[in-house]
Amino acid sequence: MQDKVENMSVEYNNFDGFHLFTPGDKMTKGLCAGNYDLEKAFASVIHQVKVLMKHNNGIECEPQLAISPAELQELIASNEPKSSEGAHFIPSAKVQMQIAA
């Protein structure tokens, strides 16, 4: 088992209040977690990354996002929403994952 995985990330997008996390690199391939509730979206992404790390990479781990839901909510609030065909979203952001094996 590997001690630590560095530089893992997930992509974050906010579509009209829907918080969506998708793969940010090859370590998180297959990730698609989202919810209108940011806390639930965070819980979902952490659970899914744990499952994907074991399935895709054979690594058992306890992932943690390097930003809190409150910090991400601040980032969302500080970005003026953009519009595309009626949907409001902020630019995508990479969110680092900390993995403890």
Give the integer Cα–Cα distance in Å for 56 and 59. 8
pLDDT in tens, the chain (101 residues): 455 655 678 888 888 889 899 988 888 889 999 999 999 999 999 899 889 988 888 888 888 777 888 888 887 777 655 555 555 555 455 555 555 55
Residue pair 23/10 in contact (Cβ under 8 Å)? The answer is: yes
Residue 92, classed as helix, strand or coil, is strand
pTM over 0.85: no
96: its two tokens: 């680092």
Task: Report angle CA 19, 62, 68 to the nearest 5 degrees.
Answer: 40
